[in-house]
Structure 1
């Protein structure tokens, strides 16, 4: 790897609605008070898109004024932004922050972004949209479990690491195999350079299931009250469209379907909450697979400041 994120940066991450933003700000304040200052780098794959503010819980003006923020609002929603694009942008910003004597603090919950910073990135072949379309058609025709079994035949290692319901990753693994003739798991091995958590400052906020689900429900209700539907309507007005990635974002996809007349508003809220719970579960699986992570169990009534104090104490 060209840059060692694991030992030079801090990471405050966790599942959706776990309280990352508030805790990350508190940790940044403590690092700043200790000397040198700190700046925040987003670790959120949807916060890179301009105008997608409510559904991504993007830091507001007050938060950005309090501590400098980076890696947000980098692209318009109809543009694509790859993991490799993110890695390159993150390295440039982190190097600049360190050169100015400050500490980069990554805050966000996109596991693929976290893994690529900690262990490098297997980029693989570019997307073959025609092949991907065919694979997605097979997915619809035969079901995700049948396609997962097909992956098991050609790449049992990848199949064992990919959940049977993770359609996106199953399709990508099959796409890479059909494009290159080589299992994606073999090509990824050189990038799987794990480190013990004690060598890194990667902290994952973890709440019990009941608390997490309650916070997700409250988060979705708040987003709807703040105007998520109006935000999406504005992003798609006058013939504008969302790109492939932006249109699949949790909350945005469901609202797009609502605006298309497929679901009423109460059903849309329930669908966003349900999909967010599933997404949070997948995030947890990702974090547990990374040895660099230290888990911080959080009580429902614990303040962000108290959690930050514990994190700084653990970091030593």
Structure 2
């Protein structure tokens, strides 16, 4: 599945690691180019998961129209192909209104899938998925090892804790006998076919890490513990995918008595910094992405000015 080129050519993209300052920059950029914002965040899709996902506030969403936020409940399943399908529909509607679609977020897989297309693959085999989940529960890490055997290329790209995508890759191989990485490559649009304005904010590491630490502390002040406790009391309960999100996984471990509150806080900071490194890798490896250096001394308006200078007419 590919976004039609006539729509993609009118899209703007602002990516970057967590806590780099995408929200305020994107609001200013959207106002400058008369855009509506589409979330490029795989966790912002969930309702009732607000603090740990650092969603734009109600005031920010009223300032500029936002889309693809709060679209499913935490117990629901949502694939990358479904994201691309819905994003294509929303972007087309925005273009029909004479405005520009501006994708904003840090999920590299979503960004790549919008730019290059996504292989939809066979329907879900729920019985096989449950079998794999049981295997992982009995022997943590075994599914990623299994993926190394049948699709080493994709295994290299996926973190062992990214169980949703690891299981999907194993499922596709189980049903087709062809590695998912090979099928994705066949379906992908080459970078040269992608037009539009694609930017990513590349910050200084120490500056970003300090911002990450402050953001995590703020999440605790805003009530992250209570948010996760409420999620665990839901019926039906959140899916494993939802609870694997940064901040949520650690809080579940704390509420289950596996670590103290301060240990959970520090673990969230460590894992978020590690996640930011992986985000950098995603954006650096997409040649469509133009790098915008973030020194920590620029204002959001300065960053918008630089983006405009490097944009295509």
What TM-score do you get using the length of structure 1 for normalisation?
Answer: 0.88
Matched, 1:96 2:98: no
Aligned-CA RMSD value: 2.5
Q: Secondary structure at the match of 1:125?
A: coil
Matched, 1:258 2:254: yes
Aligned-pair CA distance for 1:128: 3.7
Aligned-pair CA distance for 1:158: 3.5
Q: Secondary structure at the match of 1:121?
A: coil
Aligned-pair CA distance for 1:90: 1.0
Matched, 1:106 2:103: yes
- 1:241-277 CA-partner distances (Å, limit 9, x unpaired): 2123211111111112212222111011111112212
Which residue among 301, 307, 310 is the counterpart of 1:311? 307
CA contact 1:202–1:293 (8 Å) conserved in 2: yes
CA contact 2:8–2:194 (8 Å) conserved in 1: no
Seen in structure 2, the aligned counterparts of structure 1 residues 167 and 236 have a Cα distance that, compared at 3 Å, is closer
Matched, 1:288 2:284: yes
Equivalent residue number for residue 34 of structure 1: none
1:108-147 correspondence to structure 2 within 5 Å: 108-132=105-129, 134-135=131-132, 144=141
Matched, 1:83 2:85: no
Seen in structure 2, the aligned counterparts of structure 1 residues 49 and 167 have a Cα distance that, compared at 3 Å, is closer
What TM-score do you get using the length of structure 2 for normalisation?
Answer: 0.89
* Distance in 2, Cα, partners of 1:303 & 1:265: 34
Q: Secondary structure at the match of 2:9?
A: helix
Aligned-pair CA distance for 1:70: 1.1
Equivalent residue number for residue 243 of structure 2: 247
Seen in structure 2, the aligned counterparts of structure 1 residues 297 and 238 have a Cα distance that, compared at 3 Å, is closer
CA contact 1:13–1:20 (8 Å) conserved in 2: yes
- 1:206-235 CA-partner distances (Å, limit 9, x unpaired): 112212211111111111111111112222
Q: 41-50 vs 230-239, which deviates more?
A: 230-239
Equivalent residue number for residue 213 of structure 2: 217
Q: 271-280 vs 177-186, which deviates more?
A: 177-186
1:153-302 correspondence to structure 2 within 5 Å: 153-159=149-155, 161-162=156-157, 165=160, 168=163, 169-196=165-192, 199-237=195-233, 239-302=235-298
* Distance in 2, Cα, partners of 1:291 & 1:88: 23
* Distance in 2, Cα, partners of 1:221 & 1:257: 18
Structure 2 unaligned spans of 5+: none
* Distance in 1, Cα, partners of 2:228 & 2:303: 34
Seen in structure 2, the aligned counterparts of structure 1 residues 104 and 129 have a Cα distance that, compared at 3 Å, is same
Matched, 1:73 2:74: no
Aligned-pair CA distance for 1:194: 2.5
Which residue among 50, 58, 62 is the counterpart of 2:59? 62
* Distance in 2, Cα, partners of 1:263 & 1:219: 21
Aligned-pair CA distance for 1:125: 2.8
Q: 243-252 vs 216-225, which deviates more?
A: 243-252
CA contact 1:12–1:106 (8 Å) conserved in 2: yes
* Distance in 2, Cα, partners of 1:94 & 1:153: 38
Give the count of matched residue pairs: 309
* Distance in 2, Cα, partners of 1:103 & 1:43: 15
- 1:129-158 CA-partner distances (Å, limit 9, x unpaired): 5544555666677775x8666545433443
* Distance in 2, Cα, partners of 1:89 & 1:40: 14
Seen in structure 2, the aligned counterparts of structure 1 residues 240 and 153 have a Cα distance that, compared at 3 Å, is closer
CA contact 2:44–2:69 (8 Å) conserved in 1: yes
CA contact 1:177–1:183 (8 Å) conserved in 2: yes
CA contact 2:116–2:194 (8 Å) conserved in 1: no
CA contact 2:14–2:201 (8 Å) conserved in 1: yes
